[in-house]
Amino acid sequence: MTAAVTPAATAASRKLEGLEVAMRLTDDVTPFNVVAVLQIAGDLPVPSLRAALDELQRRHPLLRARIVPTGKDYVFHFDVASQIPLDVADRTGPESWIGAAQDALHTRFDLPAGPLARCQYLRDSSGGDLIVTLHHTIVDAASASRLLAELLSLCAGKPFTVDEATKDEGQRPASAFFPAEYTGLRFGRAAAGFMARQMGDEAKFRWGSIGVRKPPIAASGRCCILPVRFSPALTEALIQASRRERVTLNAILSAALMAAVQRRLYPTARAPLRHIIFADLRPRLRSTVPDSVLGCLLTMFRFTVTVERDGSFWDLARRIQQSTVDGAQSGERYLAYAMSPGTMKMLLGLKAFRMSATALSYSGPTTLPVVYGPFDLIGLHAFAANMTLGPEYSALVRLFRGELWWDILYLDSDMDAAGAQAIAREMQAILERATL
């Protein structure tokens, strides 16, 4: 029997803005879910998990939210009384979580009813896999990591401090915290410059793409996941190379991803490829939003880089880094967020091109504790859903337990498992050569 959740604050509503709207539009094509997998060793009783989920929902207004269409807008209503669903099943093998996570990516939320979260617990005598699914409109990498730490602490009966700002969670979008130069009339001038740069990039991309393979757009495709881990030795070598070459780890990993995709999917010696890097808006806002406050306060940089099959890896990494710097200096983190609804409507309406060849989100060192008393956290994975108009090959990457954990996502309409694994092997070989 489903029990009611007693809210900690008065129910309210708020219109979706910016990237939230783009994500809601995407959900009409494919469920736009984020799936996290927490692999634990030890004892986590189901009643403890159930109680932790209920307390988590009581604390966080966005875990009591639903999304309702209102005229041409979409609105958050913070009035959901039903519990976060919990499904418990036996774990049939060490990798049974992979199929379950893929299913979770494709299982749609009832957005007008809510809640926008659910949990599946696959368990056996040695531990279990917690598969936590959230709609992307209510979470980003920073808040997801903090939320998962809070969940595990509650499961273990340990205290976990929540910022006072959590009571107002979801009340304002990221755009409400933009710096003054990206608001009001000044936003209009900045947006005009942004559009001019985008048009110039489009013209350059089309000209450079003459004679280059055009990625197919399938009518439908299923998200498939490929978890990959880099050894502590390779991870440390990459960190040292980043310091030595003065290139960010984000740019290094992006360069390897782009180079591997170019070599495996594009038969020409050189190809202009579009790449997406996801960035956290929280440190760049006018008013700080703590990680403990749920919300999708991220943005993306999309840029074009010509990748040469026999070109210098470090030259490619530096060009990627410079593209990111240029985008940041021109305010594209704010402009891309605010203008994403129009961009998404155009993309879904035309269905003429893919968003990019590659996409990467590197969240840095994971801050989640690994020891919780009755159980330990021994594995951590995360995936964000994709669609057939999205990137051909993407990854969420983090530094966890001294290793780089890659959670790669591809569509079965683009490649099979062997093809995805070949790109991953190519990527690792490129990085191994670069660190010699």
Give the mean pLDDT of 271-281.
Answer: 95
Pick the closest to residue 79 from 23, 9, 173 (CA basis).
Answer: 9
Rounded distance between C-alpha atoms, residue 278 and residue 22, angstroms: 15
pLDDT score of 386: 97
Q: Tell whether the model's pLDDT for residue 8 goes beyond 80.
A: no
Q: What is the CA radius of gyration of the chain?
A: 21
Please, what is the Cα angle at 342 between 322 and 348, to 5 degrees?
100
The pair of structure tokens assigned to 292 is: 């403990």
pLDDT score of 432: 98
Rounded distance between C-alpha atoms, residue 194 and residue 329, angstroms: 12
Q: Tell whether the model's pLDDT for residue 154 goes beyond 80.
A: yes
| Sequential DSSP letters for 184-200 | HHHHHHHHHHHHHHHHH
By the 8 A CB rule, do 253 and 239 touch? no
Q: Give me the percent of the chain exceeding a pLDDT of 70.
A: 97
3-state secondary structure of 377: strand
pLDDT digits 0-9 by tens, 163-214: 788 888 999 999 999 999 999 888 898 899 999 998 999 999 999 999 999 9
Rounded distance between C-alpha atoms, residue 268 and residue 270, angstroms: 5
pLDDT digits 0-9 by tens, 230-267: 999 999 999 999 999 999 999 999 999 999 999 999 99
Task: State the helix-helix crossing angle for 249-265 and 417-434, rounded to 10 degrees.
Answer: 130
Residue matched to tokens 């991309």:
205
Q: Tell whether the model's pLDDT for residue 3 goes beyond 60.
A: no
Q: Are strands 223-230 and 403-411 parallel, antiparallel or unpaired?
A: antiparallel
Check: pTM over 0.85? Answer yes or no: yes
Q: Tell whether the model's pLDDT for residue 11 goes beyond 70.
A: no
Q: Tell whether the model's pLDDT for residue 9 goes beyond 50.
A: no
**b or e along 107-138 (b: 16 or more beta carbons within 10 Å of the residue's beta carbon)?**
eebebeebbbbbbbbbbeeebbbbbbbbbbbb
pLDDT digits 0-9 by tens, 14-62: 999 999 999 999 999 999 999 999 999 999 999 999 999 999 999 999 9
**Residue 152, CB-side half-sphere exposure with 13 Å CA sphere:** 32
Q: Which letter does DSSP use for residue 371 in this model? A: B
Q: Please give the helix or strand (H or E) that residue 20 lies within, else none.
A: helix 19-27
Residue matched to tokens 């809601």:
24
3-state secondary structure of 414: coil
| Sequential DSSP letters for 212-250 | SPPPP--S---EEEEEEEE-HHHHHHHHHHHHHHT--HH
Contacts of 63 (CB under 8 A, 6+ apart): 56, 57, 84, 115, 116, 117, 138, 294
Domains and CATH numbers, the chain: 13-172 (3.30.559.10), 176-364+388-434 (3.30.559.30)
Dihedrals φ, ψ of 168, to 5°? -100, 15
Predicted confidence band at 288 (pLDDT cuts at 50, 70, 90)? confident
pLDDT score of 1: 39
pLDDT score of 435: 95
pLDDT digits 0-9 by tens, 97-139: 999 999 999 999 999 999 999 999 999 999 999 999 999 999 9
By the 8 A CB rule, do 224 and 102 touch? yes
Largest CA distance in the chain: 62
Give the mean pLDDT of 280-288.
Answer: 91
The pair of structure tokens assigned to 228 is: 């990959």
**Residue 62, CB-side half-sphere exposure with 13 Å CA sphere:** 25
Contacts of 144 (CB under 8 A, 6+ apart): 34, 36, 134, 382
Give the mean pLDDT of 335-347.
Answer: 94
Q: Are strands 117-124 and 86-90 parallel, antiparallel or unpaired?
A: parallel
Give the mean pLDDT of 222-230.
Answer: 98
pLDDT digits 0-9 by tens, 55-88: 999 999 999 999 999 999 999 999 999 999 999 9
Rounded distance between C-alpha atoms, residue 347 and residue 339, angstroms: 13
State whether the Cα torsion 417-423-429-435 is positive or negative: negative
pLDDT score of 102: 98
